[in-house]
Amino acid sequence: MEIAVLGTGMVGRTLAGAFVELGHEVAMGSRSRDNEAAAAWSAEAGDRASHGTYADAAATAELVFNCTAGAASLAALAAAGSENLAGKVLVDVANPLDFSQGMPPSLFVSVTDSLGEQVQRAFPEARVVKALNTINHLVMVDPGRVSGEGDVFVCGDDEDAKAQVHELLHGLGWADEAIIDLGDISAARATEAYLLLWLRLMGALGTADFNIKVTR
């Protein structure tokens, strides 16, 4: 599958690398065609890896991952171009973190909205799925590195899009029963708000290398 990964940070590089290893063609998108992090990543990742602008990456992709910083996501997706997102599965991994008041960050959305919904509203023809935003990048692509594993949450308005993301997550090592569908895109409020707990847990545990498992 041709996948665009927008964003050159740790999340983007880790996911992009994992998808290349799984045999996908991955284009990393960033603000400029000569972004050093993206160029270095694609040179190292081999033949199935490429890089370009947000629009370059999204144009040929079948599926797009938003791995940009939450505060920059809407601008990055606008640069990618609504025409390059229309009809495609758009996996929103970003979190609406607000660092303006110090650490730990808060959120720049209220409890009655979410970045996932903002993305869906801004790009109504994209099929937005919120996923993977509740875990560290290392755990995203290697759920078993956490003893006892844990769960990953998906939500979105398009059932077929969620099914495609489920398959991709399965490919990354997530067991079917660990992939929990929370419903429509408004459930992004829940997984983004959970970040507040994730951040406190990171402080209490002294590591980002953890997850949560729903026990029943």
Q: Which residues sit at the interface with a copy of itself, rule CB under 8 A? A: 101, 106-107, 109-112, 146-150, 153, 155, 180-183, 187, 189-191, 193-194, 196-197, 199-201, 203-205, 207, 209-216
- According to DSSP, the residues that pair with 131 across neighbouring strands are 154
For residues 3 and 23, the answer to whether their CB atoms sit within 8 Å is no
For residues 40 and 49, the answer to whether their CB atoms sit within 8 Å is no
Closest to a copy of itself by CB, 30 vs 211, is 211
Around 63, how many Cα atoms within 13 Å sit in the side-chain half-sphere?
21
Closest to a copy of itself by CB, 35 vs 95, is 95
Closest to a copy of itself by CB, 41 vs 198, is 198
For residues 106 and 53, the answer to whether their CB atoms sit within 8 Å is no
- According to DSSP, the residues that pair with 155 across neighbouring strands are 130
Buried b (16+ CB within 10 A) or exposed e, 79-104: bbeeebbeebbbbbbbbbbeeeeeee
Closest to a copy of itself by CB, 70 vs 150, is 150
- Calculate the alpha carbon distances from 27 to 5, 123, 186, 188 in Å: 6, 20, 29, 26
- According to DSSP, the residues that pair with 98 across neighbouring strands are 106
Among positive and negative, which fits the CA dihedral 60, 30, 19, 153?
negative
Closest to a copy of itself by CB, 64 vs 97, is 97
Closest to a copy of itself by CB, 47 vs 215, is 215
| Shortest Å distance, C-beta 180 to a copy of itself | 6
| Shortest Å distance, C-beta 146 to a copy of itself | 5
For residues 127 and 155, the answer to whether their CB atoms sit within 8 Å is no
